[in-house]
Each structure stands twice: as C-alpha cells, then as structure tokens.
Amino acid sequence: MSPERKIRILIAKPGLDGHDRGAKVIARGFRDAGFEVIYTGLHQTPEQIVAAAIQEDVDAIGLSSLAGAHDYLFPRVIELLKEKGADDIIVFGGGIIPEEDLPPLTQAGVKGVFTPGTSIEEAVHWVRENIKPRK
C-alpha cells in the first residue's frame, strides 16, 4: 500500500505588509502536523504567489495579511488562479481581518479565514477537514 500523498500548502505573504510572525508560526505548525509547507517569504505580488502555487503543485494557499490590504489582495489571487485554470487550489487566509470584511471574502471564494485567537490545532483541524491532496 503506497502512503497517501501529503497535503501541500503554500503559505504566502501578499503585498507590502511586513508582519510575518503569524505566517511563520502557522507554517511551522502545519509542518509539525505533517503537511508539506512552502513559505513564499514577504512582499509577494498576487502574480508571484499564483505562479509559485502552480509550480509547487500545492493543494491550497494560505494568505496572511495584517495590514488591511486583504480586501484587494485575496480576491486578486483567486482571480488569477481562475485565469490560469488553477482554481481547484483552495485559498484560505488569516490575520487582522475585521468581521465586516468576511462576507465579501467568502463571496470572492476564500474558503476559510482565521482571525486572531485561532490556535494552531484549530487551523490544522480545519485543513484536514477541508483540504484533500488533489491527486
């Protein structure tokens, strides 16, 4: 029996935001939970993120934003995934995201948003429930 392919996740920091504490903690938490994790590093354009996701053949992209540009950047990533025919890659996000911004993000196709206070365990559980290896 061949072992099941691991879940592959790209953790990405879109835009100019420099707050990477949360992204790095969640990347490490996901790795410790047994997922394969690729971290883009800071200051990535949506184009760079989508290119990395396709190249790395990930199952999901986790976007981190703490500087208020999520309303533009998250939907832009999803739009580009669609353009590239890669919209089977699930997009979720986390960071400082006011409650009133959640419905438009969901509508744009963001599958889950983790706001402050989320434990690593909760995020890992959500990934296991919602993301399956694609092949």
Partner 1 sequence: MVKEDKLKEVEEKKKGWLEDLAQILQETPERLPRFSTVSDLEIKGLYTPEDIKDITYSSDIGFPGAYPFTRGVQPSMYRGRLWTMRMFSGLGGPEETNRRFHYLLSHGETGLSVAFHYPTLMGYDSDSPMSKGEIGKCGVAVDTLKDMEILFEGIPLDKVTTSMTINPPASILLAMYIVVAEKQGVSRREIGGTIQNDMLKEFIAQKTFMLPPKPSIRIIVDTIEYCTREVPRWNTISISGYHIREAGATAVQELAFTLADGIAYVEAAIERGLKVDDFAPRLSFFFDSHIDFFEEIAKFRAARRMWSKIMRERFMAKNLRSWMLRFHTQTAGCSLTAQQPYNNVVRTASEALAAVLGGTQSLHTNSLDETYAIPTEEAVTIALRTQQILAEETGVANTIDPLAGSYFVEALTDQIEQQAWEYIHRIDEMGGMVTAVERGYPQAEIADSAYKYQKQLDSSEKVMVGVNKYATDQPPITIWRMTQAVEERQLARLRQVKQTRDNQKVKELLNQIRIASKNGENLMPYIINAVREYATIQEICDVWRDIFGRYSDPGYF
Q: How far is the CB of 135 from partner 1 (least distance, A)?
A: 25
CA distances from 125 to 13, 16, 75 (A): 22, 29, 24
Q: Does 28 bind partner 1 (CB under 8 A)?
A: yes
Q: Is residue 60 classed as helix, strand or coil in its secondary structure?
A: strand
| # residues near partner 1 by CB under 8 A | 39
Give helix 120-130 / helix 21-32 axis angle, nearest 10°: 60
Residues in contact with partner 1, shown as a per-residue x/- string from 63 to 102 under the rule CB under 8 A? ----xxx-xxx--x-------------------x-xxx--
Q: Does 6 bind partner 1 (CB under 8 A)?
A: no
**Residue 66 near residue 95 (C-beta atoms within 8 A):** yes
Applying CB under 8 A, which part among 19-27, 56-64, 78-86, 105-113 lies near partner 1?
19-27
Residue 62 tokens read as: 């986790």
Q: Does 16 bind partner 1 (CB under 8 A)?
A: yes
How far is Cα 2 from Cα 66, in angstroms, rounded to an integer? 40
Applying CB under 8 A, which part among 38-46, 55-63, 82-90, 125-133 lies near partner 1?
38-46
**Residue 89 near residue 55 (C-beta atoms within 8 A):** no
Site residues (CB under 8 A) for partner 1? 11, 15-21, 23-25, 27-29, 31, 37, 39-43, 45, 67-69, 71-73, 76, 96, 98-100, 115-117, 119-121
